[in-house]
Chain A
Amino acid sequence: MLDYILLEVRRTLRDRSFVVFGTGMPVLMYVLMTNIGMGPDGAPMEWKIASMVGMAAYGALGPAIGVGTGVAEDKQLGWLRQLRITPLSPIRVVVARGLTSTVTVLPALAAVLLAGALVNGVRMPGWQWVALAAVLWLGTAPFTLLGLGNGYRLSSQSTGLVNTGCMLLLSVIGGLWFPAELFPGWLRSLSSWTPGNRFAELGRSVTEGGAPGLATVAVLAAWLALFGGYAVYAYRRAARTV
């Protein structure tokens, strides 16, 4: 199984446009949003930190959901079928595929946090940096499952579109680009129920020096269960035809 994870990680990181855009976009957006139109003194430090968390979350969300895009591609190429006639059990293939994202989310995550520290001068105690990276890393799990579900359920082309759509929608509604405080009231309350918002909330609570709230963990756990169920359902359906 480890071999399969390594193979997939290698394949993902060799996709140059994936690495360049997947890492470059969130960093670029972070730098722009914290430095443009903010007056001579630049943005306040709170916004620099909040936006750093939001953009790191957005950067990690892409490759997490994107795992499913790769699955759909491999399904179309007949590779998943070929894997089914190796001794590798199908469930290990799925799990390994999911675990691939634990590596592929790292470049974007690290790049945004580095930009925060180096470009915007964000300063936090060492444990906060570590904890922030850790919660953002672990918090990608529901999105990986959503992407996998789409990958097994849909055709290669539609998976690409649907996954990109999900990523943008969850990022914007979740307040990863613009703070949810700017949203009208109804959208704000809706936003607090979305996984993207709670994902970033994990990180924000760490930067404020505290542990994530119970509500945040509960909402994320519910999404994890929902997307997990969806992934299992999609996989079972696909297994009949893959």
Chain B
Amino acid sequence: MATSRATHLTNGSPTGLPQGLPHNAAQGTTQGTTQGRPQTAGPAGATRSAGGAAAVEFAGVTRSYGAVRAVRGLDLKIAAGETVALLGRNGAGKSTTLNMLLGLLPPSSGTVRLFGGEPEAAVRAGRVGAMLQDGRPIPRVTVRELVAFVAATYPRPMDVDEALELAGLGEFGGRRVDRLSGGQAQRVRCAVALAGNPELLVLDEPTVALDVEARRAFWRSMRAYARRGNTIVFSTHYLEEADDHADRILVIDGGRVVADGSGEAIKRGTGGSLVSFDLAGAPTETLRALPGVSAVEIRSDRAQLRTADSDATVLALAELGLIRGLEVAPADLEDAFLALTGAPSSLSASPSSPSSPSSPKETA
């Protein structure tokens, strides 16, 4: 994971992405973020991104199911070669967004373009591969037969052995798809998505059934695939996954983009640190006005301030004589996420991060 974080930081920081702030979020933040973005790949990337059109572009896209508006006004642009995470809670509109991206679901209004054309055209041309969330293995076919069949439908497929290898299925080629474990079946879906050697790879919650080890191997393969100049768009509700593996995170909530940028930018944008202390009955009205503070939360007799400048905030607190049981912690993406979406309840914390800092802070 150390290497992944390193690549993430070097990819993420120097691009100078604007911070995705909650209040200016839904529209306009994506403009400019993708333009002039350095291609992460070598020659392959150069040839693949030829043509100049964004790999994915949503303009004013909405989607309703009856009276429910699952997606309400989505504008986004993903350049060729980017690895982008759609991060959001269950029901935030991630799957609806991806289904529209793939042309499986027509938008109620607005337009979706892939490589400058209709999604269907990009799919017919074999430029898209996808791992859908609800796909289950079909019976009575071997892994190799299935992957070879899918590969053969594409104009420039990947070698079948290579696809199996990348998906971590090296030794399972001869096994029947319906006799695999859940995690192995998930890898088959991954191999099916990769088989056509697509320029755009779409992964809807790709690691749900994988254990930690398999998850790590999966992302290693995906990074290798992205390095060839391919575009990867994945959805997740694991914060760490988005932070570790995406160049750019789109935080989706209530059917719109509420933040857009690298993990670092999003953390900065929502206030870099959390300052907490015991109130001991002190008045709380003035806390919001302290320097750097963007949000105040009072829990029993303890105040937690979200601040962009923890030094200034602490100095101001000292002047007010409020330093009691003081604690300063850097905000992590989870804090940023909660600040952006304002609803802690249904978000899954990443199972592979027992050291999640939220619990000690809350009980402190």
Contacts and interface: CB of A to CB of B under 8 A. Distances in A.
A85 B153 contact: no
Nearest to B127: A87
A15 B128 CA distance: 32
Given A7-B141, A10-B141, A86 B153 contact: yes
A123 interface: no
Interface in B223-265: none
B132 A89 contact: no
Given A81-B132, A81-B135, A87-B196, A11 B126 contact: no
B104 A84 contact: yes
A3 to B, nearest CB: 5
Contacts, number: 67
Interface in A59-105: 73-74, 77-79, 81-82, 84-89
Interface in A88-142: 88-89
B136 interface: yes
Contacts of B145: 7, 10
Provide the main secondary structure of the chain A interface.
Answer: helix
A7 to B, nearest CB: 5
Nearest to B126: A87
B362 interface: no
B315 interface: no
B129 A85 contact: yes
B136 A85 contact: no
A79 B125 contact: no
B149 A11 contact: no
For chain A, give the interface size range.
20 to 34
Contacts of B153: 3, 86-88
A34 B304 CA distance: 89
Contact of B135 (A7, A78, A86, A89): A78
A10 B129 CA distance: 25
B152 interface: yes
B138 interface: yes
Nearest to B130: A85
A195 B134 CA distance: 38
User: Which of A3, A74, A82 has most chain B Cβ within 10 Å?
Assistant: A82
Contacts of B129: 85
A204 to B, nearest CB: 36
Given A11-B138, A86-B154, A87-B196, A3 B149 contact: yes
Given A78-B134, A79-B135, A87 B154 contact: yes
B102 to A, nearest CB: 5
A78 B132 contact: yes
Interface in B87-103: 102-103
B148 to A, nearest CB: 9
B174 interface: no
Interface of B: 102-104, 123-126, 128-130, 132, 134-141, 145-146, 149-150, 152-155, 189, 192, 196
